[in-house]
Amino acid sequence: MNNVFAGKRVVITGGSTGIGFATAKALAQQDARVIIASRSQEKLERAKSEIGKNCETHALDVSDESAVKSFFDKVGNLDHLVTPAAGGALGPLLDLPTASARDVVESKLWGQYYTAKYAAPKLGSGSSITFFSGIVSRKPMAGTSTYTLIAGAMESLTRCLALELAPTRVNCVTPGVIGTQVWSGIMGEDQAKQNFENVASVLPVGRVGTAEDVAQAVLYLIGNGFATGTIVDVDGGHRCI
């Protein structure tokens, strides 16, 4: 069987840690040429040293539209775009400062919007964009109003851009609770660990997800030339409980 990833140029925002890093590593192992972008130069260097061959890095803040445009002008022609850059804040609507909510929206919603806008003209034949939302689009939880807003918007944007940008394929991955370090940054290490245990105890699969679980879904969407406008849940059954 032909390796559909070999030699393909793939930009991954947030590619230095978590889901982005797992995706970059999996693609590089399939001989794709991965271009990872994130804010931290230190994390980028660490990621590159682990991925090894076929890896290029760029410092980028995806909430800065002009920086995103410059980045894609510099990178040039591409085959695929993957946008798992993460971060944010949790809290009830009445308690979460509006400025904190805006920061999350700028990064997770507008960041993905900007990357699609400026990557799309660089994408060639057989290309794809893989967005990210979150399982709160299906099963909201108290304290996640900002993420729920973003997740629903990204899934709607996916379906629209699958039409607008055709024949470029546009899909979206909807992760559940994934055991990455981003949770420690949001709620602290001890609370994150307890949250993982609580979630695992009620999920049908009996555990929280891994970054590698989500990366497998991304590779499926990139490699399947008949998948577009598709929302793929990787949530351990969270939407069912």
Q: Are 211 and 178 in contact (CB under 8 A)?
A: yes
- Per-residue pLDDT, 1: 54
Please tell me the predicted confidence (pLDDT) of residue 2: 75
188 within a domain of the structure (yes/no): no
pLDDT at 53: 85
Neighbours of 144 (CB within 10 A): 20
Report pLDDT for 162. 98
For residue 239, tell me if it sits in a domain.
no
Q: What global pTM score does this model have?
A: 0.94
Residue 86 lies in a domain: yes
3-class secondary structure, 209? strand
Q: 203 in a domain, yes or no?
A: no
d(Cα 196, Cα 36) in Å, to the nearest integer? 28
**Residues 64-106 pLDDT 10s:** 999 999 999 999 999 999 999 766 678 889 999 999 999 999 9
Q: What is the pLDDT of residue 183?
A: 64
Over the stretch 143-200, which tens digit does the pLDDT of each residue have?
Answer: 889 999 999 999 999 999 999 999 999 999 999 988 877 666 666 777 778 888 988 9
The count of structural domains within the chain is 1
Q: Structural domain of residue 142, as residue ranges?
A: 9-180+212-231
Residue whose C-alpha is closest to residue 40's, from 19, 21, 22, 16? 16
Residue 194 lies in a domain: no
CA 2 to chain centre: 26
Q: What is the CATH number of the domain that holds 115?
A: 3.40.50.720
As given in the structure block, the two tokens for residue 172 are 């979206």
Cα gap 1→4, rounded to integer Å: 9
